Amino acid sequence: MSSEVRGPSKTKIPTIKITTPQAEDGMNSKVAPERQTAAAAVGAVQPAKARKRVVVAMTGATGAILGIRLLEKLRRLDVETHLVMSKWAEATIAFETDYKIRDVRALASKVYSARDVAAPISSGSFKVDAMMVVPCSMKTLSSIATGYGDDLISRAADVTLKERRRLILMARETPLSGIHLENMMKVTQNGAIIFPPVPAFYIRPKTVDDIIDQSVGRLLDLMNIDTADFERWDGMRKFGAREG
């Protein structure tokens, strides 16, 4: 949505269009008229809505392919990605997939070492839309829950929480101990979203790829990004439920 704004009539300032991100989101389309005319008077024009920018962290839980698929989809959707992989993420990529580490790195816009706590994503002043840890080990979950930012992944997650930005953890372990559950509760109470990679069998997946696409697609729903490449629930009939 955009709003037409005119400058005060005596100063002959031409009509300009101010488009605010809020207005585009439909969250707050009302910009005070006095602010619009003040902006027009100094020739200020709001920048076009920026490309989405996301931090993707991969850790050493099983399911490395989920993080890889996420990077592939974000690349296809033209989202700027800032990637950090832990040492054990690299080990699980090598163990569980045919991808070379350099090929995974090449999917991201920027890549940082997990040891580099001086990287831009270590500061709240570096603006990002969200951070996703996919997959997220219980060890990284616990460091986020306790605010123990000794590597770039836990530090960037800590920053995401303190800046009240979206933090999504694809936490993976089974079964779960009380410690895991307490940590999940703690990060949830502080604004994070725990999103375990749990398959939806109502789509009747035929391949592992179907399960991965559905999990990653639903994850990106949390950022209002539609991958448009997986089945959504649309009532019983569509999914072939037998009538009794």
Binding residues for ligand FMN, rule: CB under 6 A, are 59-62, 86, 88-89, 91-92, 95, 137-140, 172-173
Least Å from the CB of residue 172 to ligand FMN: 4
The continuous run of DSSP H or E covering 95 comes out as helix 87-96
Comparing CB distances to ligand FMN, the nearer of 62 and 190 is: 62
Q: Are 70 and 76 in contact (CB under 8 A)?
A: no
CA distances from 232 to 76, 204, 209, 227 (A): 20, 11, 15, 11
Q: Give whichever of 86 and 227 is closer to ligand FMN, judged by the CB atom.
A: 86
By beta-carbon proximity to ligand FMN, the closer residue of 95 and 148 is 95
d(CA 192, CA 229): 26
Sheet architecture: strand order including 80-85: 110-113, 80-85, 53-58, 130-136, 166-171, 193-194
Question: Least Å distance between CB 86 and ligand FMN?
Answer: 3
138 is in an annotated binding site: yes
Three-state DSSP class for 192? coil
Query: Binding site annotation covers 48?
Result: no
Identity of the residue, 74 or 157, whose beta carbon is nearer to ligand FMN in the bound complex: 157
Q: Is 172 annotated as a binding residue?
A: yes
140 is in an annotated binding site: yes
Which residue of this chain has its Cβ atom nearest to ligand FMN in the complex?
Answer: 60
Strand intervals (E) in 19-144: 53-58, 80-85, 110-113, 130-136
Is 15 annotated as contributing to ligand binding? Answer: no
> Can you say which residues are annotated as belonging to the binding site for dimethylallyl phosphate?
202, 218
> Can you say which residues are annotated as belonging to the binding site for FMN?
60-62, 86, 137-140, 172
